[in-house]
Amino acid sequence: MVEMKSKKFFYKNIIEWKKQRMGILSAENKPGIEIATPPEFKGHEGIWNPEDLFVASVNACIMTTFLAYAERNKLDFESFKSEAEGVLEIADNKFMITEIKIKPFVKVKHDADIERAKELIGLSEKNCLISNSIVSKVTILPEATAGI
Amino acid sequence: MVEMKSKKFFYKNIIEWKKQRMGILSAENKPGIEIATPPEFKGHEGIWNPEDLFVASVNACIMTTFLAYAERNKLDFESFKSEAEGVLEIADNKFMITEIKIKPFVKVKHDADIERAKELIGLSEKNCLISNSIVSKVTILPEATAGI
């Protein structure tokens, strides 16, 4: 643990403007992603925007954290899917993502694991490193069922 | 402005687990993106991870905000490219992205616009809605040159 405390990890990317309100996001050895201003701010439809990436980072972090906890706690699950919705509005005279609602849904193999699965999802949000890095209020409503 | 104050915009996405520590990020009418836990946390190489998305959201937001400011201020520019690096480490006993360094580079058409371009980039960071939504320290080092 002492060693972990001093560890740092780095995440690099490049965005390059192409035309109008569009650009390409890239990172070493990763597929390029087209990015644009959203339509409501004079941008483009059907293209990922910065707001999407932000909300997705929280949603994805809860999944990856859950996967780690499920493995550590030997939770048998069949599927995991999570819906996220971020709200952009003016607060304190500036635009910000004030709130993110997350609805994860997990299907476990055994009835007995339903409550434990929901607890692990809750814990995943609480310990998600992206949740720790934002001021937006994150609300999580985990659901779980059993079956194959 | 009164109307703007009451406006809310919503950003939705879904992440679905596929196998190992990988899933697919999706949103209506947008291309799917493969997402995984990063290699340093028992994940996978060459796939976008939640940490990347978070850092990219800030980098992309600065670009889209700059594009709006450049248009509003009639700044003629040839190219815009921005490198970002986020640092993940333990602070206050929890993992978080403590810092994001951004290096935007803009090429303007006229020498006289170099300083104004750098100012507009600085302003873009200051008013970026993602910067407003995070606790990570954002440092921006804009560079500008002139030429075609």
Nearest to B95 among A15, A63, A129 (CB): A129
Q: Cβ of A43 under 8 Å from any chain B Cβ? A: yes
pLDDT one-digit tens code per residue, B65-99 = 999 999 999 999 999 999 999 999 999 899 999 99
What local confidence, expressed as pLDDT, does residue B147 receive? 84
Q: Cβ of A123 under 8 Å from any chain B Cβ? A: no
What local confidence, expressed as pLDDT, does residue B4 receive? 53
Q: Across the interface, do B12 and A85 touch by the CB < 8 Å criterion?
A: yes
> What is d(CA B37, CA B44) in angstroms, rounded to the nearest whole number?
6
pLDDT one-digit tens code per residue, B100-127 = 999 999 999 999 999 999 999 999 999 9
**Quick one: which of A14, A50, A25 has its CA closest to B134?**
A50
Q: Across the interface, do B94 and A132 touch by the CB < 8 Å criterion?
A: yes
ipTM of the complex model:
0.95
> What is d(CA A39, CA B26) in angstroms, rounded to the nearest whole number?
18
Q: Which two tokens stand for residue B97?
A: 């992205």
CA distances for B74 relative to A25, A141, B61, angstroms: 25, 46, 20
Whether residue A148 is predicted with pLDDT greater than 90 in this model: the reply is no
Q: Cβ of B53 under 8 Å from any chain A Cβ? A: yes
Residue A51: phi and psi, rounded to 5, are -60, -45
What does pTM read for this prediction?
Answer: 0.95
Q: Regarding beta strands A94-108 and A77-91, do their DSSP bridges make them parallel or antiparallel, or are they unpaired?
A: antiparallel
Q: Cβ of B87 under 8 Å from any chain A Cβ? A: yes
- pLDDT band, very low/low/confident/very high, at B129 (cuts 50, 70, 90): very high
pLDDT one-digit tens code per residue, B4-36 = 557 999 999 999 999 999 999 999 999 999 999
